[in-house]
Amino acid sequence: MLAASVAALAAGCSQAPDPVKPRVIVTSDGEVDDECSMVRFMLYMNEWDVEGIVTSSSQYHWRGHRWAGDDWMEPYLEAYAQVYPNLIKHDKRYPTPEYVRSITVLGNVDGEGEMEKVTDGSNLIARVLLDESDDRPVWLQAWGGTNTIARALKTIEEEHPEKMEYVAAKARLFCIWEQDTTFQSYIRPVWGGIKTIISDQFVAYDYFWPWYNIPEEDSKYFGAAWMKENILEGHGPLCSAYKALDNGAFRSEGDSPSYFYNIPTGLSDMEHPDWGNWGGMYVHVRENTWLDPVQDETFTYPEGRWYTRSAWGRARLDPLRQAGIYDDAMMYEYLKQILRWLPDVQNDFAARADWCVKSYADANHAPVITPSEPKTVKAAPGQKVKLSLRASDPDGDALSYQWWFYPEAGSYKGEPVLSGTDGPTAEITVPADAKTAQTLHCVCTVRDNGSPQLTRYHRVVIEVK
């Protein structure tokens, strides 16, 4: 093993700590796909400051209606405690089981959209948002309805109106659809300053995943054979608790894109939903709200909720399913900004599953990238721009490099020429027809040769001057 790998092993850390870890709070209605998402979420808790796991309700699930139980998290808390001693061999930043249990609380669950009752969950969210000792953004993930989040904000409005501007600037909201009415009825009109992403692209990972044309070479990552080998069997109690289909195939993780967005892979600045990362790519539609980009020129975004009945993807999927149509180019294009990363995401999941049972030396860990140039540069048409980075691998694996132009992420839509794309240093010539203030996004994919192969990225944004 290389000296660098020995040092990493001694540190028990798979990569250098991020300068600023994202802060996240999950709210979930405990649906079976939420349970699947929770298993994977727990394997990534080293990457964030997790400040709450709150059970909430939705239009589909509430106490007494298709309810998983107030204590649905209990088996996962117990399983996490069992694998925690092995996880910290790979990264000591994993939170202790005791801490995770302490922040797992019950929110507003008595009915669809219920936000009148002050609950432990709403109080936890309000407390975190009001705490001025830490000004970092807080990503509020709504895996179900937004009602517990709404109750927390209502408490702040009623008891601390002088802090509303501070809280609005601090909060970030990522919704998997609008699964109740509280975003439209309360959050949007009263707290419109909160940056909000509402995703329909999550259907790439939900129950309907066989219903669009995933490339054949990628579909194996949802299959029973891959899931059994890499997740379900021989990977400890947390992964064995994953509720796959009866044959072992992937069931659904419709909520996972909300935290894929927060995984620090090097792809993007989380303040730019339009840059694209594992959690999708979004466009600014109105006020401070970002929705899925729709390529259908006949489509008009609804004024109200973005959910089951109005979101473009679900509206297209339902008739396809009824007609027995399995391949749909428009559907794939809609989901491309999530599906393009599918092999990398699933291989990363498999590596985390290994961390539950394997020693550091026997498992794989992602490459570490250190930018050697600014991430944003200004250049004139015709100017050559050097693209470079430094990368290392904690395990001493060989690394491959691939620089590529990401046209959907920038405003320049032509085809610039890149040279030297298969090494840590490349070059791009800003096209002569590029206009002032247009942007070009160049990404380097850095992949190791370990098993499973792991990937991290570096992005350079060129602003035309």
- What the chain holds in terms of domains, given with CATH numbers, is 3-291 (3.90.245.10), 365-464 (2.60.40.10)
What's the pTM?
0.95
Q: Exposed/middle/buried for 58, CB within 10 Å: 0-12, 13-18, 19+?
A: buried
Q: At what angle do helices 74-87 and 32-43 cross, to 10 degrees?
A: 20
Spatial distance between the Cα atoms of 161 and 94, rounded to a whole number of angstroms? 35
Residue 19 pLDDT: 60
- Which of 37-56 are b and which e, b meaning 16 or more Cβ less than 10 Å from the residue's Cβ? bbbbbbbbbbbbbbbbbbbb
Q: What is the DSSP letter of 21?
A: P
Low-confidence ranges of the chain (pLDDT < 70): 1-19
Cα→Cα distances 4→301, 398, 432, 461, Å: 51, 13, 44, 30
Residue 6 pLDDT: 30
Spatial distance between the Cα atoms of 210 and 247, rounded to a whole number of angstroms? 15
Radius of gyration of the chain (CA): 22
Residue 326 pLDDT: 81
